[in-house]
Amino acid sequence: MEVIRATCAGACYGVERALKLVWQAIGDEQQCASAARPVFTLGPLIHNPQVVAELEDSGVHAVSSLDEIEQGILVIRSHGVPPLLIEQAKSKGLSVIDATCPHVSKLQQAAQDLHEQGYTVLIVGEVGHPEVEGIFAYAGEDALAVRTVDELPDKLPSEQIGVVVQTTKSQTTLAALVEELRRRGLDPLVKNTICLSTKQRQRAAEELAKRVDAMVVIGGKNSSNTTRLYEICRESCPQTFHVESAAELDPLWFIGVSNVGVTAGASTPEEQITAVISKLESYN
């Protein structure tokens, strides 16, 4: 069985940067001996359970609220947070390391600019996702978020609509929503904030899925961008499997398969991809 890796797959710059910052913080504190401070993230640093577990073992604790932290270092995760939260952390005397992905920071700024220009901000994204929840803090009280055209309300807060997009959403979803707004006679100002890494991974995964017998998508089940890769691959290759690690692979999935494609989400480290490819190659 031939194993083919997508031309673009795995951890993006924003994830690698966040991991570098948190490991650097751990190293710096370990050198302080008895004066070492605890390190925390508000929610998982990235959407990869294996990496989060590794960080926990190294002393980085994911918490759900600032109330759980008395002192130490708070690392802002790659998805970003509302600015008020950073202010609250500093007011508690916490040292703050901002690991917000630069693409998310640009998205936050785009939402703020639209709001300040008088637009009602429409966020194309997953309600409840930490990145989207952070955007609301920049987008104004009348902002709203929808995943698809079907979720677009019949009556919008105003006719002056500005559009931003969760960095991991697909171009197809954005285009469909903009088309619907224009069908309603509106002329939205669109800020296409889908990050380049997402576009590259989606394009490469789709192209590969069209020419293989099976696909394996690697990454957290809680990862929006990995889940989207799985959906894209499954549209072209019904025999598509989403796994978080090599341990989840089943050789029975690949009986009669001549070639299998492999891709991975933006929160998936290289070692996880290598492990999956090695196990697939062992099925020969």
Tell me which CATH code domain 2-11+196-281 carries. Answer: 3.40.1010.20
pLDDT at 34 over 60: no
Give me the torsion for CA of 218, 247, 46, 163, rounded to 10°: 30
pLDDT attached to residue 224: 85
> Exposed, middle or buried by CB within 10 Å (0-12, 13-18, 19+), for 93?
exposed
Give me the sign of the Cα torsion angle 24, 40, 219, 131.
negative
CB atoms inside a 10 Å sphere around CB 24:
11
pLDDT attached to residue 138: 96
pLDDT at 284 over 80: no
**102-116 helix and 130-139 helix, angle to the nearest 10 degrees:** 30
pLDDT at 202 over 60: yes
pLDDT at 212 over 90: yes
Domain edges within the chain: 2-11+196-281, 13-101, 103-190
Residue 38 per-residue DSSP state: P
Residue 118 structure tokens: 């008088």
The answer to whether 273 and 48 are in contact (CB under 8 A) is: no
CA 106 to chain centre: 15
CATH of 13-101, one of 3.40.50.11270, 2.40.33.20, 3.40.50.460, 3.40.50.10860: 3.40.50.11270
Domains 2-11+196-281 and 103-190 share a fold: yes
- Report the candidate in 167, 201, 150 with the shortest Cα–Cα distance to residue 10: 201
Inter-CA distances, 62 with 55, 226, 269, Å: 9, 21, 19
Distance in angstroms (rounded) separating the CA atoms of residues 258 and 1: 5
Residue 260 structure tokens: 């299998």
CATH of 103-190, one of 3.40.50.1970, 3.55.40.20, 1.10.1740.10, 3.40.1010.20: 3.40.1010.20
Catalytic residue numbers, as ranges: 131
Cα radius of gyration (the chain): 21
Distance in angstroms (rounded) separating the CA atoms of residues 283 and 257: 11
Q: Tens of pLDDT along 222-246?
A: 998 899 999 999 999 999 999 999 9
% of the chain exceeding 90 in pLDDT: 84
Distance in angstroms (rounded) separating the CA atoms of residues 98 and 187: 36
